[in-house]
Homo-oligomer: A and B are copies of this chain.
Amino acid sequence: MKIALAQLDYHIGNFDGNLTKMRSAIEEAKSQHADIICFGELATCGYPPRDFLEFDDFIHLAEHSIQKLAEAARGIAVVVGSPSRNPVIEGKDLYNSAYFLADGKILHVQHKALLPTYDIFDEYRYFEPANEFQIVEYKGKRIALSICEDLWNLGNENPLYTICPLDEMLPQKPELILNISASPFAHDHAEDRIRVLKANAERYRIPLFYVNHVGAQTEIIFDGGSMVVAPNGKIVDELPYFEECIRYYDLDEVGRGEKEKLQPKDKMKLIHNALVCGLKDYFGKLGFKKAILGLSGGIDSAVVAVLAAEALGEDNVRVLLLPSQFSSDHSVLDARQLAENLGVQYDVIPIEKVYNTYMEVLEPHFWAHPFNLTEENIQARIRGNLLMAFSNKFGHILLNTTNKSEMAVGYGTLYGDLCGGLSVIGDVYKTEVYELARYLNRHREIIPENIITKPPSAELRPNQKDSDSLPEYDELDPILFHYIEKHQSPQDLIEMGFDEKLVRRVLRLVNINEFKRYQTAPVLRVTSKAFGMGRRMPIVGKYLA
């Protein structure tokens, strides 16, 4: 038996686009004499469809896609994910289902039992968990269908669910497992995936075929990395990261599990490729081509500019240098050098004149009050306004260049430097932004060395340094990591050796700045805990605030 895994980039709600893509994959797989082709979880409608699932019309369109795919499933079986209706009145109205299509019809449907409802996942919001488990027989093979999380209750110290769906199927003696997934990227997630799949192989001792999505849906990036696991636990193959790909496997060969084949997992390379993928798909799926951003001469905007040029092509990236009277000469020089290294269009528009006009207009109201954060924010907001003006006039999407450390502690101006349609590095800590810059410069110096080595500054008042108001990033970032990603308490952090005063100050900054993050662009997610949909905090909360 020959099994094809189709690791594709779907588009949420784009039923025609997804259907066309799957049909042509079916044709290709037929020409390769595959017996079964597997697509991803909820592939008809894309993942995550979120509240579109609450529209009956949307479900109807998904059903229509299944019908069309069933018609294409002649001479080949098709495994594909799609929402299905729960005929029972009690419980949620939908299931998250794996369809087995063959001979022009629906041969079998298995629903998902373990519904991830944490971080960015909201599946129990929509779906009833499966309570029946039935294998399907095809061409003499007993096949267990499962969907993503259904395999994930094994291999964890603290399992989230009380059952393992595969255990429920064991009495039916399945001979192989097909798992269709939508498992998003985090830079350390591929290793979790391998651990979990190996735990399943160890338990069930049958071949396991796991197919993932690839491509980004707003902030969520799917890295692919689909896998084939032998009964002996060997990873027979791992599909490429961030690439669409169809591969074919002989079931008997997989059963023998003769050798293991895994890809290298370099953290910076993975983050880099994820961000490029996230940018590309955000623009592609929204039907935009061109990006704009402000180049300050600092490292964050430099890194975003390079990523954007890679993702969209340098001809589609435009940058503005928006110096004020507080900008240093080297900032403009560095930014200009970077723009030239990249070959992107750039303009220098000093903001002093606009700033002075604001000051003039505000003078009758502000004269008694000294220069403070207000005037700093005005500068950032003038830049936001100018960038958005270009964006509106010429059809660019403005890229936000804030990093995760700044977002965490609220070091940024709402409606100013926090503007932008997409936050490119909002899930990358400042210390990692430097690593990323080095990675981007691995072949040649695109980002001028001076941008990487000078001390970070917002340049909103004379001689300002980030370290005037924040701890050094190499002190700050580990605290943020342990609090945000690891949910450590102040006590835990103090016991780990961090300074108590600093810990309390940092955690307070994180918690009182929830209101800013609420209004910030979606953040490309590259860690296990990014700001945005996956981290839901009360704004008026009083905890550690």
Instruction: List A residues at the B interface (Cβ < 8 Å).
Output: 11-14, 17, 46, 48-52, 54-58, 60, 88-93, 115, 117-118, 122, 124-125, 153, 158-162, 216-218, 281-282, 285-286, 347, 349, 351, 353-354, 357-358, 360-362, 365-366, 369, 372-374, 377-378, 381-382, 384-386, 388-390, 392-393, 414-415, 419, 421, 487, 489-492, 515, 518-522, 533, 535-545
Contacts and interface: CB of A to CB of B under 8 A. Distances in A.
Contacts of A285: 540, 542
Contacts of A49: 538, 541
Contacts of A160: 91-92
B362 A537 contact: no
A466 to B, nearest CB: 19
B159 A52 contact: no
Given A378-B389, A382-B385, A538 B50 contact: yes
Nearest to A283: B540
A489 B542 contact: no
- The quantity of this chain's copies bound in the complex is 2
Contacts of A544: 13
A390 B366 CA distance: 9
A421 B539 CA distance: 10
Contact of A543 (B52, B349, B535): B52
Contacts of A373: 392
B12 A541 contact: yes
13 contacts: A13-B541, A49-B538, A50-B536, A50-B537, A51-B535, A55-B543, A57-B492, A90-B162, A122-B536, A374-B393, A378-B389, A415-B419, A421-B515
B388 A377 contact: yes
A388 B415 contact: yes
Contacts of A124: 115, 117, 124
Contacts of A490: 57
B360 A389 contact: no
B161 A91 contact: yes
Contacts of A13: 538, 541-545
A272 to B, nearest CB: 21
Nearest to A492: B57
A515 B382 CA distance: 21
A489 B285 CA distance: 23
A361 B353 contact: yes
Contacts of A89: 158-159
Given A377-B388, A415-B419, A218 B538 contact: yes
Contacts of A158: 89, 93
B347 A365 contact: yes
B358 A389 contact: yes
A60 B535 CA distance: 20
Contacts of A414: 388, 419
Contact of A538 (B17, B52, B374, B384): B52
A12 B57 contact: no
A117 to B, nearest CB: 5
Contacts of A535: 51
A286 B512 CA distance: 9
